Chain A
Amino acid sequence: MKLLRQIRPRGIAIAAILVVFSLPGYVLAQSAEDEDPAYSREGADSCFACHDDQLTLAVFRTKHAVPSDPNGPFGHGQLQCEACHGPSGDHAGRVRRGEERPPSINFGSDSGTPVVVQNEMCMNCHTGDEGLAWHAGGHDNDEVACADCHTSHAARDPVMATATQPDVCFDCHQYEKSQAMKPYSHPFRQGKMDCSGCHNTHGDDSGDLFARQTLNGTCYDCHAEKRGPYLWEHAPVAEDCSTCHDPHGSNNPGMITMRGPMMCQGCHSQAGHPSLASTADGLADGMPSQYLLGRNCMNCHTQVHGSNHPSGSKLMR
């Protein structure tokens, strides 16, 4: 009883709205003549009364504003601005003095609109493609809004261009940003490779947002010569390229995680030269060592990704 008395009338109204419109499968019965009071009177023409800046109008240079697209926001009979920004009749209508103008749905993490609501607006149209596995990906788990990466009101969405996409991703992924600046990295800095070249940024079921089913499958897209299968395989290569490589960047040539021969000696301990300690005595100004200088172990074992030679079991042929 005390609880009920503590609930204000406005709260009851809001809660009632939530209950009514949250019920699963609930259908509003409206006749064709009735106008939903939540929508504006004239659609986009209503919005332009206030929103006439270049940023707003830039949407008309994008795929969201193609009138011949029957499924697009500005297609025949569609909801124009309110297709994304939601019913904005109250927002566009008359506001009493002293009261704040009711908001429409805005986009971005700091927009005030819950991210789940924002993304649902996008998913209304983009479920089949980009939204297919969105729910399973880390971006959805971390409550990333579509608008955190995408700029819908721009003729050129930076995240859609190879040269500018990494900067968008690096806004959040600062560790990877640092990796990409390392001496040996994929050509992100030169604008010739983007994150979506390897990652399915809209989500997938692998957990790591790979463009293909696995990490190796993703690498083989550009490095198909490593796919094999080879007669003599190098086991870690077939299992996981990241056993030896850091694809975001490394201090070491070839983006390997550690210098040779020591990296190789993390797995190879056979009697003889594989287990010999390499010291600074083997540098060029000392007793130049074939195990240390040049290509170190690969001075002989050059076929490190596998060999298809009948005599190649030691990856030398």
Chain B
Amino acid sequence: MTEVKIKILTTAIALSFLSTAAWAQVDTSDWKCELCPFEQGYDAEYEAGALYVSDSAARFGNATGLDEEGGKLALDGEGRYASEGFQASWTVADLALDARELEVEAGRQGRYGLYLGYNELPYRQFDTTETIFTAQGNDFLRLPPGWVAAGSTAGFTELANSLYPLDIGSDRQNIMLGGHFLMSSGFKFFADFRQENRDGVQITSGSGFTQSSMLPRMIDYQTDTIDLGLRYASGPLSLSLAWYGSFFDNKAGSLTWENPFFDNPATPGFDPHRMALEPDNDFQQLTLTGSYRFQTWNSVLGFTAANGTGKQNEPLLPYTINPNLAAGALPVANLDGKVDTSNYSVTLTSRPIRKGRIILGYRFDERDNQTAQATWTRVIVDTFVSAEPETNTPYSFERTRMHVSGEYELFDQLRLSAGYERRELDRDFQEVAEQTEDNGWGRARWRPASWLDISIKGGSAKREIDRYDENVAASFGQNPLLRKYNLAYRYREYGELTVSTSPANLPVSATISAMFADDSYTQSQMGLNQAETSHISADVSWAVSENTTAYVLVGGETIDADQSGSESFGTPDWSAFHSDSFSHYGGGLEWRNIGENTDIVLDYTHTDGETGIRVYRTGVSPSDFPDIDSDFDSLRLKLRYQKSDRLDIDLNLRYESFETNDWALAGVAPDTIPTVLTMGADPYDYSVWVVGVGFRYLIGARDISFPE
């Protein structure tokens, strides 16, 4: 039977089936399902083992919990229980590591379900950092006893005696609770709650007048997120009314540190400086979403209407912690910050003809910052009072997007589509008050044979400035020739090609994809002038045999950008060329049922990143920065041996190495920069082996069989 005939017949079958009357009137009284092997009782897999990490490396432990050398337990598992309509399941992963996960679900499907989850996510950034500061609580950093202040890091005579190692990283812990309840009338109630706690140490910077210090800041965040809602579905109508709440609590409202640079002889101790940390905030949003399916032209009308409010009302710090400065009174004690958000959209998709479809859409997003403005007379870095009052700017914007697209199946093998989109953006308090972008694209998808699929897409987009507010630009002190790249005129051309093939007579499938995007900022005399992105990749899979598959992958990408600036605050007198490249290759093998009891899985990946920067200045030879290279290798080998019907033995081998020569870090000791006390982080460089052995014990049958 030809492919066309198969499609016609199955379409006809499906269309007949889609008639609700047909479904309702099928007599299934003889459908006993006597052979159906429904799930009953308890099945589980318990995995226990040990693994050994060859070396300590913070970055290797990022998200894995394997940052320290030594032996660790490996505990994983999952289980399922079903009885008389009640189902429950649990999964556990990495239970003995800082990346542990636990999930439990239970309920009666079709009536209600409950969910409980817990997970941890370690973020490990540096284990080569040092600091002189000692934390007292989570909001005060004290200098060591006997510290000698100086005007530059070269003068820190007690630096070597005062530095001690301090790792940089943090941990997230998430607790999740959720549930849903289905009511018989098509309503479904759902509720989800998540509490995330994040604590650890993060690098921030505390600045003085001409010097600054990298500070080990303690993080102690809690974020509670709630989703509640009601869904209704009946026939062609689906609706969802949902409330979303996010409540952020920062246990530390500020960070005070003792300045290691100059101290004031007139006052005892070291000059304290203080910064405000992220304020507590909350956001609540009500969203109504729906869709209605029309018989006419097989159309679907969808809409979303969401309104939200975000608030922040933390007590404000004084202008300065320096008691010797005559700073004025604050205009308000609390910001009483408030942002209203609105999001509306409507989309219509329709098939006026069998081979064609049109899509119309409109979307509106608004951020309306209702925070009041006031005049502030700041104190500059806790050192002297500014003579220039400033007014805070509550940024707001309105963004609309309209799009129309159509597609037509010219032949069974060829589908053409095209579309147009217009975006408009209006802003308050920014140089570009009104902006529009027009985007047109076309696409062809060609399937000349069942084993070949070719898709090509291209388009262009032009972003224009409808109104540029010179006064705002001047108020920022900007060079009048500068155009910020996210606001500037931009002409973009882009294209995409994807070829997928899976010949019927060959056990091979391959996908090749390529894309490019070319951005021109021709009206920007200063700022970003040009950016180009190109990417190509290929994946090949080979079913070597019934039990063996292999794959290889390779790809590369480049991102080039040109920008210009002016040291003389006039016409451009310097420019910079950036080149980011990234390539990857790898492969793998899955070999199952070796000797009917052994599986082997092997995977290897190599990546290579490179960033180059060249700076040109008028009258000076170009300056080339050393390339920032990053090399990554990952090898994973897993062998599973089925010892018996219930017991498997796993052997795992993992190797990973990463190396980078980042000039922003390499050779930058705490006292390398005269005016910045750094933490001396080294560029990442690790090579780690992990060897593991585990036992997996199964409860329940390994295979599914028909009931006896």
Q: State A292–B625 Cα separation when bound (angstroms).
A: 11
- CB atoms of B513 and A175 under 8 A apart: yes
Closest-by-CB residue of A relative to B295 is: A24
What distance in Å separates the Cβ of B462 from its nearest Cβ neighbour in chain A?
A: 18
B557 in complex: contacting residue of A43, A113, A129, A178, CB < 8 Å: A178
Inter-chain CA distance A240–B295, complex, in Å, is 39
Q: Does B422 contact A (CB under 8 A)?
A: no
Given contacts A128-B232, A220-B246, contact A293 B528 (CB under 8 A): no
Query: Which chain B residues numbered 88 to 103 have a C-beta less than 8 Å away from chain A?
Result: 93, 99
User: Which of the 9-residue segments B142-150, B264-272, B478-486 touches chain A?
Assistant: B478-486
B539 within 8 A of A: yes
A299 to B135, CA, bound (A): 20
As a 0/1 sequence over residues 304 to 317 of chain A, the CB contacts with chain B under 8 angstroms (1 = contact) are 01011111110011
Interchain nearest-CB distance for B399 vs A (Å): 9
Pairwise interchain contact A77-B28, C-beta atoms closer than 8 A: yes
Chain B residues positioned under 8 Å from A48 (CB to CB): 35, 706
A69 CB to closest chain B CB (Å) equals: 3
A276 at the interface (CB under 8 A from B): yes
B26 near A36 with CB under 8 A, answer yes
User: Number of B residues contacting the other chain (C-beta, 8 Å)?
Assistant: 208
Given A175-B535, A233-B395, decide whether A117 and B482 contact each other with a Cβ distance below 8 A: no
Residue from A60, A75, A307 within 8 A of B276 (CB atoms): A307
Residues of B within 8 A of A32 (CB): 25, 27
Q: Which parts of A1-58 form the interface with B (CB within 8 Å)? A: 14, 17-18, 21-22, 24-30, 32-36, 38-39, 41-45, 48, 52, 54, 57-58
| Nearest neighbor of B386 in chain A, beta-carbon distance | A311
Chain B residues closer than 8 Å to A18, beta-carbon distance: 8, 11-12, 15
Chain A hits for B580, CB < 8 A: 251-252
Cβ of A157 under 8 Å from chain B = no
Cβ–Cβ contact A294 & B676, under 8 A? yes
Given known A-B contacts A27-B21, A205-B346, A229-B369, A213 and B306 have beta carbons under 8 A apart:
yes
CB <8 Å contact, B14 and A121: yes
A114 touches B320 (CB 8 A): no
Report A56-70 CB contacts with B as 1/0, cut-off 8 Å.
Answer: 011011010111111
Residues of chain A within 8 A of B162, CB atoms compared = none
Return the CB mask of B144-175 against A: 1 if under 8 Å, else 0: 00000000000000000000000000000000
With the chains together, A251 CA to B560 CA distance in Å?
13
Q: Does B218 contact A (CB under 8 A)?
A: no
- Nearest neighbor of B385 in chain A, beta-carbon distance: A311
**What residues on B are CB-neighbors of A225 within 8 Å?**
221, 248, 250, 278
In the assembled complex, the Cα of A192 lies from the Cα of B476 at a distance in Å of: 42
CB B77 to nearest CB in A, in angstroms, measures: 13
Q: Is the CB of A30 within 8 A of B21?
A: yes
Indicate if B589 sits at the interface (CB-CB under 8 A): no
Identify the interface centre among B6, B303, B706: most chain A CB within 10 Å of its CB: B6
Distance, CA A207 to CA B302, complexed state (A): 13
Selecting from B592-600, B603-611, B643-651, B686-694, the interface stretch reads B603-611
Q: Which residue on B lies nearest to A306, using beta carbons? A: B278
Cα distance, A18 to B281, chains bound together (Å): 58
**Given A128-B233, A225-B221, A262-B613: A43 touches B28 (CB 8 Å cut-off):** yes
> Is the beta-carbon distance between A100 and B1 smaller than 8 angstroms?
yes
**Of B233, B246, B359, the contact of A141 (CB 8 Å cutoff):** B359
Kindly report which residue of chain B lies nearest to residue A162, judged by CB atoms.
B101
Tell whether, in the assembled complex, residue B10 and residue A30 are in contact, meaning their CB atoms are under 8 Å apart. Answer: no
A309 touches B401 (CB 8 A): no
Q: Verify A45–B34 contact, CB threshold 8 A.
A: yes
Residue contacts A-B, CB under 8 angstroms, 5 given: A58-B704, A229-B394, A230-B312, A259-B578, A316-B381
